[in-house]
Each structure stands twice: as structure tokens, then as C-alpha cells.
Structure 1
Amino acid sequence: MKRKLIAAIGVAAMTATVAACGSGDDGGSGGSSDSITVWLMDGSAPEPWVEELSAAFEAEHDVEVNVEIQQWDGIQDRVITALSEDGTVDVLEIGNTHTVGYANTGGLADLADFADEPWNAPMLESTRVDDTLYAVPWYGANRVVIYDKGIWEEAGAEVPTTRDEWITALETIQENTDAEPIYLPGQSYYVMGGFVADAGGTFAVEEGDGWAGSLATPEGQAGMEFYAELQAFSNAPTDIDEAEPQQSTDVVPNGNVASWIGLGWEAAGAIAAIEEQGGEADFGYFPVPGETADQLGHVFLGGSNLAVSGRAGNSELANEWLRMATSQEWAQKFVDANNGGVVPNRTDVTASPEPGSFAEAMVASADVGYLPPLTTGWANVETLPNPIKELMTQALNGDDYQSAAEEADAEITERINRE
């Protein structure tokens, strides 16, 4: 039976794309008794894994699996629309920080039958609302420190295992080379959030029936102070983030950068950009250090969950596909297909990345991953102008931290409690 791997490329094209993907002429493959529609995000799953899983599921259930590849740009609008319609999609991948919001729309099915699987505990946190399971973990990813081996060797800097050693390495690079010790723009707030988490804090805390910003605290200030200590070694402006300009393709390949903090796809992008310019990248990787050698620094644990639409055309088949895709067998195959470069969703799955690889450094930090407040209103906080970013710029520019943080907390509190 023919399998379909289809790219959906935008909000305007969604209706036409979904209709074109259906089996038969009913225009809604999710509503067909002999097919199932699965939405996966661009870049999430290696195509061989998708094809092998689809073939196995089709053989077992005698149905057609239509996998539609979605782009991240505009995905929230497409998902909300799909969850309000009958039979548009059966199973869908959703970002872990967006799961609560989609669940609160009433569009996701209750997955209580999946609760007893040996899920990765930090990843599982993003799948529940009021003890109801609305999704299951699929994979995680986090940032590590990426460094230029040649520059570090020239400087005589050693790979650190603690914060103090990290600062010493940056000082050594600054003293012995012309390189920028670390590229760290002023508004990389998920990096800063890890330092806040190291101190025992968070961006916002639950308060009564709502949430309240919590950066005007000793923990918030401690996190920001360490971020500022690192940022002092960077030439990056204090009023931009890592995406504009994109650090991996616009900054690192065109500058003399000794180190930076990034994700796996950013490391790959930097390597490709350097090679396109005729150069050769020689990167090393290490986890974000903690205050002591036996405790790594906290890192934002991004990633995706898998959920079933409450209006799935075939909820029974949707649950069966979800069970197969996240089983120990297929979860292990997924990790292996990614060369160990993702954080496994289950405790009975092992990531075995190559020694010295980005993946090895990333997986080492998986147990100290943190998540932002898991509530629908968190998306409002991240909308520009982001109050956390503005606080960071003010602090780096020398403004009084406490006053600026109190203003940021008030804005966070107002936004996060807004549906």
C-alpha cells in the first residue's frame, strides 16, 4: 500500500493541502475508515523511520498512513483550526511548551491509557493538565556549549566542568588570542532561565488561581548576574537574541568566535556555512557547567509531544498508532535514527551518541532540563516586546535590577493570566 509523506507549507495552503492528502474523494483522510492522518513537524523525524513505521502499521492494521509534514511557522493557528474540525488530523506532534494551551482548548483527547509507560519524568511534566494526560513525550533537545577547538588549543584553555572553570577558560582565551571568547547576545532568555533554575528560581510561580512573575527575587537576580558575567566576554549587543542575526549562520561563520551556546541544528548549520565558505569547522562540545563538577547547569528542555485530536476521524486507530510509535521498540529506533541526537522519551530507551559529539554533550544534560511555566498564558509572555528580554537588556546596560525586575514581573503576571 502506498505511503504518503506530504509537506504542508502555510496557513493559506492548509485547506488545499489537507484535501489533497486524503484517500478517496472525501477530502478528509482523518475521517476515513481505511486511513489515518498524522501531522509531524519539519525536521523532527528521519524519513526512513517514518516510512518504516508507516509500513509496519499499515501491514498490521490494513490501513493507509498519511504523514503530513508541517512547518513551524504559523503552526499554532493551523493546529487550533484542525482541532476544531472533524477528521482533519488523527495524531499530531506539538511543541512541549504549547501542549497545555492546546489541551485547554478542549481539542486534545484524554490519553489516560498511556499513563503507566516508563516516560522520561522531566518531559512528562509538559503533557498533563490537572492530572489529565493529554499528550505523551516524543523527544527532547537542549543547548550545549559549542567551542572552536583550534582557538581553545591556541589559548591553552581547558574544557570546564564548573562555572568557575568556565570563566577561567574565557579569561584565558581573552588574554591569549584575538578571538571573542563567547558569543552571547543580551536577550537569550532561555539560557538565562537555566541560570535562574540553577539558583532554584523560575520565570513565574503559581499564585492562588493564577500565576505571578518571579524574577524580582534573589534567585532571579543570581541567574541574571551569572548571565551578565558571561556576556561581558561577548561583543554581541545587549538588545538582540540569538536568532536575529542567527548566531549559527550569520555570526559564527563570519567571525572569530571561540564559543557559543546553541542547539544541535545550529551546530550543523554553522558547520555547513563554514564549509560553504571553503573553511573547515572543528567544533567541540560540552554541557553547560554547574556550580560544582557533580551538578551540570540547568538547560531549557525543548522538544515535542504527540497527541490525539479530540475530533480524530478514527480515534481507535489514532491511539494504536501512538502506542506503536512511542513503544520501546520504535522509540529506540527513533533515537538510533537520530544518531543518538535526541533526549529519549522513555527510561527504557538508550541514547548512545558518538564520543565527542554534540549529542553526547546534550544527552548528558537531559536530567537537569527545565521547562517554562506550563500554562496557556505563557505564549503571551513570549510575545514581543518580551518583558524578560527587556529586563535582561536593562540589567546588562547597568539599570537597577530590582526595579527593572519588578516592572517585568508585573508585565509577566498580567500577560500570563490572560487567556
Structure 2
Amino acid sequence: MKRWIKLAAGVAAITLATAGCAGSSGSGNTQASSNAPAAQGGDITVWLMTGSAPDSLTTALNKEFEDKHPGTKVKYEVQQWNGIQQKLTTALGSQNPPDVFEIGNTQTPQFAAQGVLADLTSSVNDMNGSQWLKGLKDSGTFDGKQYGVPFYAANREVLYRKDMFEQAGITAPPTSNDEWLAAIDKLKAKFGSDPDFQALYLPGQYWYTLLSFIWDQGGDIAKGDGAKFTGTLDTPQAKAGLEFYKKLVDQSGTKAPKDNDESNPAQAGIYGAGKVAMFIGTPGEVATAAKTDPSLKDKTGAFAIPGKTAGKSAPVFLGGSNLAIPVNSKKQDLAKEYLKLLSSAKYQGEIAKGGFVPGTSTDISALDSDPYASVMAKASQNGRAVPSSPKWGDVEAGQNPLKDMLTAYLTGKKTVDQATADANAALNKLLG
């Protein structure tokens, strides 16, 4: 996994640690799960990550759980993202793991493939399964079985200068690709005499944004057949998504580097300098930009990443967390009861109040009052996950073929056909 995002203003950062777990394969999930003895009392250990849930939520949750299960105590521990990969690898391979733990959504298939997660397929309905956020549900699925329960999510949106839009005569945020390009032209016509102005800041290796365009065109990164995945970056749909990315870069005249991503340099800092009308980011990046210019909090608005069809936003990549139960937990029945309570509307509503998109509830009304989080939450309903391959961490942690493809195509070193063919071959090597 890659360090990911900062979420809604005032909410703690989500940091997803680097992947590359090589822990014990464990025993077969079904057999180990069925043989695990049901615990009737004693302690249950729960690991959640720092910044994931407010103390008010976990205090109430743990008390209610203990009241419903007399004789059971919740040993609640807050973990740090830094070093969590190795800590989980060690814990899940032992005979004394936590009974419930939080895991990054793109880490879930990797641990599931190692046989260290309990199969929760039969418990989905008990955990509010009909309300699950689809993108997170998919990320917790491996080889046709459910191993992760959605916890919370966040996604990207277009953050823009309302004052610049008004001065350029743009009366409403764009709702289609064509309207977006037209808005860029109006902004350039109004402010283009300033050599430092950028209608849209779009780094060349911002592959999370590329995913939206590929998915919107009906394409994907890879397709799965059971646990096997094959790259699909060379399909006409994927190429169309890449071509639209280039169109945005070329037409906007962005000065962002074509050989780096949104973190280098940090795009919120570029926006904070006051010469950028739009960038694609997360709600928390507004607060970061406002450290340079506090007036940006009032000047900034948000709209969903437009799609090719007017009025229909593009799919977005969902980052966030799932909840899981170790296959070696001796208290799986109690652990499932804990997840059942945490996935209820009552506690998922508290997640939403904290600025996150709830993973097991479609009620996002608690986010309505936040102009950035509300847009994010609505777009999340059309959210997607990266391929649920156990080797996806190798894609992000290594020489990411998607980044190389973008740079090669945007700089003209490769045609769209060659760039996608080479990236697809590299992806197949990593996932195969």
C-alpha cells in the first residue's frame, strides 16, 4: 500500500502503510474457521488505527458490547500506521492475534490469500450487508469470498476557486467532460495573461485520477478470474481514458511535472499559492492549502469529477479501511457480534459525523453540512476499488506501470498504443 490521503477538514490523516507482507500462509480458511472454538466470555481484543474512530464512538461501542455480553471485556488498542504491516504479519501468523482488526482496503486481498483471515461470507447479511459501500465491499472480496467488512472510505473530487469561476463567467460547476473543458477555456481566457496561472493543476503521474477516466469509459486496470488477474490497460476503453487525461493536461496548460505525482510537490501547497483555479484532491487538502492563505477556506468549492455523460459523475477510487477477523482467533463468534454492532446504522452514523464516508450505511446525511465532504460522499456511491489481487501491493510499492505509462505518453516518448501495451505487460508480470 502507498501513503494515501488526508480527509475532511479537521479529521485525522489516513495513512496506508507500504505493502510487501510476506507472513505465514496460515491454515485453510474454511477449516480453521469451522474448528475455532466459540468463546463464551473473557477478553476480546480489538485493534483500530489511529484517527479512524473518535473516542466517543469507541467508548460507547465497547460499553454497549460488554453490556450485551456479560463477562466479556473489550481490550481496545489504537495502532499506528507506521510499521503496521509487519506487526499484522507477525500477529496474524501467531496463535494469539487480535480478534478484530482494521486493515487498509488494498491490503485485504493480500492477507486473505495468505489464509490468515476468517471467511465472513455467511455473515454479510448479519452485518448490514445490503447497505455496504460497493467499492469497499469489493476490496474485501477475494476468490469469491468475503474477508473484509467495510469500515470507512474517502475519495477525490475537484476543488475549485469559486471567485475565479465567477469572474470567468462560469455560472455552475461542470457536470460533464465537455463542460469541464469549456470551463478551462473560460478560465484561461480570463486569467491566462498571468504566466503563473493554471486553470487546472494536474500532475503527470496522478494515476488515482486516471482510474476515474478509465472506469468512466468502461475500461479497467485488470480483470480477475478467481485469484488470477490479467491486465486490461491495452483495451480501447482504457486507452480512451488515458487520452482524456492527456487532453486535460494539454488543454489546461498545467505546469505540474509530468514525471511525478500529486505528492511531489504537494499539490495543496501549489493551490495555496493562489494561482491555480482547480485541482483534484481530497477535502482535507483545502485545510492544508489554507495554511498558506486562510481565505481559501471561503473561496473554495467542490464538485464531483465529471464524466463523459452530462449529469453523471465519473467513478472514483475509494481509499479507506476494512475490518477483519483473524482465522486464528479463538473468539470468532464474539468477534462477529462486535462487527455486527459496529456495522449498525447507529455507529456508522458516528463515522459520518467524523467526516468519513461510512462503509456499511448508505446514510450520508451527517455529511450534508460540509461543502467538501458532502460532495465526496455522494461521489463515493459510484466508487470503485483497485483489482483485488493479493499482489497489488507490488504494483504500488514498486515501479508502478501506471505512472510510467502516464509519463511516457504525456511527454510524447510513446504513442498511446505503445504506452498501454508496455504498461499492460509490466502489470501482468507483477500480478501473474
Give the TM-score, by structure 1 length: 0.84
Query: Who is 1:231 aligned against?
Result: 249
Query: Who is 2:341 aligned against?
Result: 324
Query: Which protein has greater RCO, CA pairs closer than 8 Å, 6+ apart?
Result: 2
Inter-partner Cα distance in structure 2 for 1:329 and 1:201: 37
Query: Who is 2:62 aligned against?
Result: 54
Number of equivalent positions: 383
Query: Who is 1:260 aligned against?
Result: 279
Query: Who is 1:7 aligned against?
Result: none
Q: 1:294 offset after TM fit, Å?
A: 3.2
**Comparing 32-41 with 309-318, which one deviates more in the overlay?**
32-41
Which residue of 265, 269, 279 maps to 2:288?
A: 269
Inter-partner Cα distance in structure 2 for 1:209 and 1:280: 45
Which residue of 168, 185, 197 maps to 1:155?
A: 168
Inter-partner Cα distance in structure 1 for 2:60 and 2:347: 10
Task: Give aligned-pair identity as a percent.
Answer: 36
Q: 1:350 offset after TM fit, Å?
A: 4.1
Query: Who is 1:123 aligned against?
Result: 136
Inter-partner Cα distance in structure 2 for 1:402 and 1:220: 11
Query: Who is 1:346 aligned against?
Result: 361
Inter-partner Cα distance in structure 2 for 1:200 and 1:240: 26
Query: Who is 1:82 aligned against?
Result: 91
**Comparing 305-314 with 232-241, which one deviates more in the overlay?**
305-314
Q: 1:389 offset after TM fit, Å?
A: 0.1
Query: Who is 1:4 aligned against?
Result: none
Distance 1:132 1:344, change over 3 A: closer
Q: 1:107 offset after TM fit, Å?
A: 0.9
What SS is found at the alignment partner of 1:147? Answer: strand
The question of whether the paired residues in 2 share the 8 Å contact of 1:343 and 1:351 is answered with: no
Q: 1:373 offset after TM fit, Å?
A: 0.9
Q: Counterparts of 1:318-397 in structure 2 under 5 Å? A: 318-335=335-352, 337-339=353-355, 341-347=356-362, 349-354=363-368, 357-397=371-411
Q: 1:208 offset after TM fit, Å?
A: 8.7
Which residue of 166, 174, 187 maps to 2:180?
A: 166
The question of whether the paired residues in 2 share the 8 Å contact of 1:285 and 1:356 is answered with: no
Q: 1:255 offset after TM fit, Å?
A: 4.5
The question of whether the paired residues in 2 share the 8 Å contact of 1:140 and 1:345 is answered with: no
Distance 1:161 1:355, change over 3 A: farther
Inter-partner Cα distance in structure 2 for 1:320 and 1:407: 47
Which sections of structure 2, spanning at least 5 residues, go unmatched? Answer: 1-16, 19-38
Cα shift readout 1:252-300 (whole Å, capped 9, x = no counterpart): 223411111112332333334533xx87552101001111223211111
The question of whether the paired residues in 2 share the 8 Å contact of 1:343 and 1:366 is answered with: no
- Structure 2 residue identity aligned to 1:154: Q
Give the TM-score, by structure 2 length: 0.82
Inter-partner Cα distance in structure 2 for 1:148 and 1:279: 8
Q: 1:310 offset after TM fit, Å?
A: 1.5
What SS is found at the alignment partner of 2:293? Answer: helix
Q: 1:38 offset after TM fit, Å?
A: 1.5
Inter-partner Cα distance in structure 1 for 2:189 and 2:369: 30
Q: 1:130 offset after TM fit, Å?
A: 2.8
Distance 1:32 1:392, change over 3 A: farther
Query: Who is 1:180 aligned against?
Result: 198
What SS is found at the alignment partner of 2:365? Answer: coil
Inter-partner Cα distance in structure 2 for 1:235 and 1:114: 50
Inter-partner Cα distance in structure 2 for 1:342 and 1:207: 30
Query: Who is 1:104 aligned against?
Result: 113
C-alpha RMSD of matched pairs (Å): 2.4
Which residue of 321, 324, 334 maps to 1:304?
A: 321
- Structure 2 residue identity aligned to 1:186: G
What SS is found at the alignment partner of 2:136? Answer: helix
What SS is found at the alignment partner of 1:58? Answer: helix
Distance 1:327 1:240, change over 3 A: same
Query: Who is 2:218 aligned against?
Result: 200
The question of whether the paired residues in 2 share the 8 Å contact of 1:141 and 1:343 is answered with: no
Cα shift readout 1:93-121 (whole Å, capped 9, x = no counterpart): 11222111111111111223422232333
Cα shift readout 1:280-328 (whole Å, capped 9, x = no counterpart): 5521010011112232111112221111111225323222211111123
Inter-partner Cα distance in structure 2 for 1:268 and 1:108: 37
Q: 1:411 offset after TM fit, Å?
A: 0.8
Distance 1:57 1:289, change over 3 A: same
**Comparing 311-320 with 390-399, which one deviates more in the overlay?**
311-320
Inter-partner Cα distance in structure 2 for 1:144 and 1:387: 24
The question of whether the paired residues in 2 share the 8 Å contact of 1:89 and 1:313 is answered with: no
